[in-house]
Structures are given as structure tokens and as C-alpha cells.
Amino acid sequence: MAEIAIPKPVNGFSFGNWERHGAAIVTGLCLMFIGLAWWAGKSEMRGLEISLYILAYVIGGYQKAKEGLETLFKEKQLDVDLLMVVAAIGAASIGYWMDGAVLIFIFSLSGALEGYTMERTNKAIQSIMKLRPEEAVLFKSGTEQKVKVEDLKKGDVIIVRPGDRIAADGIIIDGYSAINQASITGEAIPVDKAKGDEVFSGTINGQGALQIEVSKPIEETMLAKIIHLVQEAQNEKPPTQLFVERFEGIYAKFVVITAVLLMTLPHFMLNWTWSETIYRAMIFLVVASPCALVSSIMPAMLSGISNAAKKGILFKGGVHLENIGSVKAVAFDKTGTLTSGKPKVMDVLPLQNITETELLRLAASIETLSQHPIAKAIVQAATEKNIPLERPKELQAIHGLGVHGSLNSVEYKIGKQEILKDIIIPTEHLQKADELEAQGKTVIFVAANQQLIGLLSIQDTIRPQAKKVIDDLKAMGIKVALLTGDSKTTGNAIGKQAGIDEVYAELLPEQKVEAVRKLESKYGKVAMVGDGVNDAPALATAAVGIAMGSGGTDVAMETADVILMADNIENIPFAISLGRHTNRVVKQNVVFAIAVALTLVTLNFIGGVINLPKGVVGHEGSTVLVILSGLRLLR
């Protein structure tokens, strides 16, 4: 990628400063020339007065006039910029030079304030761009060298020293440290990471030196995806904004036609002077322009998106922030969403003359060579209790049922009940297994030399915060449902633990779609929360799809409209509340903008109590106020 030359500052001022402060400088110059023109008028220097006013008009109104004309000729649309400039020129044409100049000045000031306000709105989002390091320390052939991050390839090994920002997504191959992942996941507390753990570009290394094997090219890192999603969010406009923009074009034409009629009809119908008629028409052009209405929505939406991003919630666009505020029901996937996705051993029940420890040792020893999630859970339970394990012999996996192997010349079988079809199991043991399954647990049978010696129960544990999340959603008047591919027994057990009454179980991916549609017809807009490939169709079908960003699959994240970067489902009530608040602020802004415009139009023609400067202050003031109102959502 070619380097971009940055212009050097001239006398302490750079092009970057001009881009940021140019509007304010132009506004200041405009005000200065208006002041000089007023002084020239007081001094009865008419020629100089008019010349200075013209300078104020040109300096303050050039950019807006250019933008308005480009919109007119290129897009065949009238916009508020052109209306303002025409109103100012109209005022000057009938001798109201000062009034027209004040209009230009306040319009220019309003534009400068809008620019600073929008910069404040976008600053939190744009700061994400600065998280990506520019260089990395590549470790190759025993030597270290600094390279550009863009040059890193999958499989490269980089060194990250204490306090450095991690340059790429990867897996730790040596070292131990606590990683500050707040920039990616929103977690305030650093997370301990060791060999084999995944780390993300843009996060900050703690106290330990790390060697990291790069797992993704720079354009596919989690940070790159976040930046891409944020850019999409900034560019995608919600339906309300699109409607207002379409309305603006039609409304601007109506204002122009009405203004033309008002330049003539009152003279003949109300016996106004030509000067009064044209002046009032110019005021109408100003106060009836939809500036405040146009500014009622996007600043609020961008503020809401920015606020959510700081908490690890990524909205892919304003439309999704608007939609989530109207959600009436939330459907949760079970595994990996409502639960942790990591099965644990819950019960160890020896059925012969052995201890719980011995039963767990035997089962874990047989399972040490298996990669099945249930096998890993059994081994993990033994490891946590510091139980020494042995390696089995002649281990064989029986697909879908379990494993069998030998240990110290004893043959063991571990798995579902079907793996023990040649063994007679006492009725009381089968009843105990049924009791465990009724609690939503998976029962594992352990047999030695054709005799049942114990039962283990495995369960994917519910997330600690799940119950509170469900309670919070219910308190907000939102219906909650559980969608799972597991059995009805397991689904109902998890639903009961979480406080969910509406459970849909034994669902294939296409059946999850049907369940979402059923909920939608029953309650209204539905948000679907999921993490797996099998959830993607339901995420796409729902009014709002919410994916788990840390543990979720790429397919789920691509399909979803909202991403929870730290898998923090406790942020779902906040996201819905933020959406509701955003919609309220937008409605308040729209009502306020319309009310101010109607009031000013009425005051202009009933009694004529406002002049052009007052109309400008009222109109532009309302524009700034609705933008500042939108900024409330940054809190």
C-alpha cells in the first residue's frame, strides 16, 4: 500500500486543522465583515457598506450555495442549503442587507456547530480505528525483526512484550499473561491467557511476554471485522431517516412554490407593499425549511450506536437500533447462548463397592484419548480433583454411543444405555437414570467386565447471569422463548432454571425459523439470540438477529444484525432499552422540529411579529437543539 503524504503544518496550522476548524473560521470572517459593514453604514459610506456585505455573503454562503447547486443540477433536487442562500439574496435585493447577512452568518454558524457536534458523536466509534497497531515483532529463525502488520501471514510467530498492544489474532504458543480485552469484548477485567488460548488484535498484553502464532490475516481479524461493521453502521440509514430524506425533496419544492406565490398574492389580496410581501416570503423560505427535521434522526442514531459499542454491543446499522426498540419477544438458542456451551459432570453415582473418586478415575482414564465434548468434561472433572489418570489400551469409539477399552486387564464400556445392550441393568438403576434425565442431564453408563458399576450425569450449565437477564426482559414487558434442538426433557429443564415458560424443543434449523415466525405472529417483532451455524436461518428471519461475538461462529456473526462481543447476554436488556430510548428521542426531535417550524410560519403571517434575524435564530436554533438532544444518547 502506497504511503500517503501528510501536508506539513504552515506556521503551526495544518490542512487537518482547516478540515476540522474551517467552518468556524469562515463563520468568524463572515461576522467580521458584517461588523465592518455595519460600521461603514453608520459612517454613511454606502459603497463600502455594500461591498463589505457582499464579502460577508460570499465568504459565509459560498460553500452552502455550491452544495445546493450541485444537488440541484446533479441530483435534480432542491435542498435547504439553496433555500437559505436564495432567501438571503432575496432580502438583499429589497434593501435588507443586514437581515440577509445575519441569515448567512447564523446559517454558517449552525453548520459549524453541526460539524463539531457530529464529530463528537462519531469520535467514540472512530477511536476503534486507532486500536490496530502499525508494526509487529516477527520471530523467525531465532531472530526478531519489526514488520508492518499488513505483512503478517497465517502461521507467523510474533513476540508481544508486557504492555504492548497485540498486533494480530492468534494462539499463544509460549508464555502467560493477563490480557486487557476491553477494546474487543467490553470486559473491564483483564483475562488470564496461557499456552493454547486465543488472543485478539488490538487488545493489550499485561505483565508477561508472549509468543503468538498468527491465525488470521490482518483483514480477517476480529478488530478488522469490528471496523467493517462500524463502517456499515455509519452508512446504513434507518427507515425513518430514509423517509425524512425523501420527504425533504418533496417538501423543499412545496416551500419554493409557496414562497413564489407569497411573493405576489399578499400584495394584491392584502394590500401589502411589494417590499413587505417579498420580505415576508423570504422569512417564510427560512422558517419553513426542514433543517431541524432532517437533523432529528441520524445524530441520535449514531450516538446510540456509539454508546452501545463502548459496552461491547455492535449494531450493524441504525435500522437495527430502531428495530430492537420495537421488539416484543426474545427467542434464545440454548447451547452456547443461554448455557455456557461447555458440559460439566454434575453427578457421580457409584453402584458397586467403589468410591465416587474411583468411579471418576476409571471413567476419566478410559476417556483420556477421546476428543468428544462429554469425554473432555469427564477428564476435566477428574483433573480438577487432582485424580491421577492412566492411559487405556485397545480404545475404540462406537459412533454415537460411547467408547470401550481396557485398563489393567479389565474391559470397560462408557456411554449411552444402548452401549450396554448385552448387559442386564437393574430396574432401580434405570429409574435413577430417568430421574437424572428429567432434570435435563445426559446420563453416562459405566460398566466393567459386563457389569454396571456407576452412572455419571453431564449437563451444559446455564450461564450465571441468564436468570437475571430473563427476569429483566420480563420486567420490560417482553416475552421470552427458548429454541433448542435438544430433547423436550432437557429443554424444559433448562427453561425452568432460567425462568422461561415457552420452550420449543427438538428443532431442526428450518424448524427454528418456523418457531420465530410463530412468535412473530403471536407477539410482534422478535429478536433471536444464537451462536451456531444452525441458528443462522433463524437469525436472518427475526426482526433483529443477535449473535455471540466471542464464542459464536462466523456464519452467525455475518447473518446477525447485532453482535455481543463478549457473549455478555446481560447486555440484551440494555440494548433493547437503548433502542427504545433512541426511538423516543427521535420522536421528540421530530415533534419539536415540526412544532417550531409551524410556530414560526404562523408568527410570520399572523401579525408579522418576527423579522428575518429572529426567524433565522428560531429556525437554526431548533436545528442545533435537536442535534444536541440526539447527543444525550452518548450517556
**Domain boundaries along the sequence of the chain:** 23-125+236-300+585-634, 153-216, 316-339+463-577, 340-462
Amino acid at 462: I
Q: Name the nearest CA neighbour of 602 among 615, 592, 590.
A: 615
- Which candidate in 333, 535, 561, 567 is catalytic? 333
HSE, CB side, 13 Å, CA atoms: give it for residue 216: 17
Q: What per-residue confidence (pLDDT) applies to 14?
A: 39
Span 377-391, average pLDDT: 92
Helix (H) or strand (E) holding 378: helix 373-384
Residue with C-alpha cell 427438538?
Answer: 506
CA distance 202 to 241: 33
Mean pLDDT of the chain: 82
In the DSSP assignment, the letter for residue 238 is P
Q: What per-residue confidence (pLDDT) applies to 349?
A: 95
Q: Which residues contact 583 (CB under 8 A, 6 or more apart)?
A: 322, 325, 326
CA distance 632 to 581: 10
Fold of 340-462: Calcium-transporting ATPase, cytoplasmic domain N (3.40.1110)
- List the grid coordinates of 225: 471485522
Span 565-572, average pLDDT: 85
Span 242-249, average pLDDT: 68
Told to judge if 501 belongs to the known catalytic residues of this protein, a careful annotator would answer no
Q: Regarding predicted confidence, which is higher, 349 or 460? A: 349
Residue with C-alpha cell 461493521?
Answer: 229
In the DSSP assignment, the letter for residue 334 is I
Q: Which residues contact 268 (CB under 8 A, 6 or more apart)?
A: none
Span 308-329, average pLDDT: 87
Q: Name the nearest CA neighbour of 88 among 133, 40, 56, 135.
A: 56
Q: What per-residue confidence (pLDDT) applies to 13?
A: 35
Confidence of residue 5 (pLDDT cuts 50, 70, 90): very low
- The 10s digit of each residue's pLDDT in 50-81 is 999 999 889 988 887 887 788 777 777 666 67
Q: 156 with 138: CB under 8 angstroms?
A: yes
Amino acid at 594: I
CA distance 355 to 283: 92
> H helices of 454-531, where?
466-475, 488-498, 509-523
Q: What per-residue confidence (pLDDT) applies to 244?
A: 67
Q: 391 with 368: CB under 8 angstroms?
A: yes
Q: What is the 3-state secondary structure (H, E, C) of 393-408?
A: EEEEEECCCEEEEEEC
- List the grid coordinates of 241: 431517516
- 225-248 burial, b at 16+ Cβ within 10 Å, e below that, comes to bbbebbeebbebbbebbeebeeeb
Q: 607 with 97: CB under 8 angstroms?
A: no
In the DSSP assignment, the letter for residue 312 is T
Fold of 153-216: 2.70.150
Helix (H) or strand (E) holding 145: strand 143-148
Q: Which residues contact 141 (CB under 8 A, 6 or more apart)?
A: none
Residues of the chain above pLDDT 90, percent? 25
pLDDT over 60 (residue 412): yes
Q: Regarding predicted confidence, which is higher, 265 or 3? A: 265
Is the pTM higher than 0.85? The answer reads no
CA distance 563 to 305: 12
Q: Name the nearest CA neighbour of 623 among 79, 111, 105.
A: 111
Across 190-199, 251-260, 376-385, the highest mean pLDDT is recorded for 376-385
Domain 316-339+463-577 belongs in CATH node 3.40.50.1000:
yes
Q: What per-residue confidence (pLDDT) applies to 571?
A: 92
pLDDT over 80 (residue 84): no
Beta bridge partners of 479: 329
Cα–Cα distances (Å) from 18 to 26, 31, 56, 121, 483, in that order, read 10, 18, 19, 20, 55
CA distance 486 to 377: 18
Among 218-232, 332-346, 355-369, the least confident range? 218-232
Cα–Cα distances (Å) from 515 to 13, 423, 556, 629, in that order, read 61, 41, 18, 39
CA distance 562 to 560: 6
pLDDT over 60 (residue 17): no
pLDDT over 70 (residue 236): no
Q: What per-residue confidence (pLDDT) applies to 11?
A: 36
Q: What per-residue confidence (pLDDT) applies to 488?
A: 82
Span 157-167, average pLDDT: 89
pLDDT over 90 (residue 461): no
Within this chain, domains 316-339+463-577 and 340-462 share the same CATH topology: no
CA distance 191 to 260: 67
Residue with C-alpha cell 410482534?
Answer: 524
CA distance 166 to 212: 9
pLDDT over 70 (residue 121): no
pLDDT over 80 (residue 586): yes
CA distance 506 to 486: 5
Confidence of residue 223 (pLDDT cuts 50, 70, 90): low
- The 10s digit of each residue's pLDDT in 495-544 is 888 999 899 988 877 788 899 999 999 999 999 998 766 777 888 889 99
Strand boundaries in 316-370, DSSP class E: 329-333, 339-350
Q: 131 with 223: CB under 8 angstroms?
A: yes
Number of residues that make up the chain? 635
Span 274-286, average pLDDT: 83
CA distance 71 to 110: 20
> H helices of 181-221, where?
182-185
CA distance 343 to 367: 15
Confidence of residue 2 (pLDDT cuts 50, 70, 90): very low
Q: Name the nearest CA neighbour of 149 among 226, 219, 198.
A: 219
HSE, CB side, 13 Å, CA atoms: give it for residue 95: 4
In the DSSP assignment, the letter for residue 127 is G
pLDDT over 70 (residue 599): yes
3-state secondary structure of 146: strand
Q: ∠598-604-606 over CA atoms, to 5°?
A: 95
Q: What per-residue confidence (pLDDT) applies to 19?
A: 54
Beta bridge partners of 530: 547
Helix (H) or strand (E) holding 160: strand 157-160
Q: Name the nearest CA neighbour of 625 among 248, 246, 299, 302.
A: 299
- Sheet of strand 191-193, all strands in order from the earlier edge strand to the far edge: 191-193, 177-180, 204-205
Own/partner contacts of 500-503, CB < 8 Å, gap of 24 or more, are 500/332, 500/470
- List the grid coordinates of 390: 492412566
Q: What per-residue confidence (pLDDT) applies to 93?
A: 81
Q: What per-residue confidence (pLDDT) applies to 6?
A: 29
Q: 83 with 619: CB under 8 angstroms?
A: no
Span 590-614, average pLDDT: 83
CA distance 623 to 635: 21
Q: ∠300-306-309 over CA atoms, to 5°?
A: 145
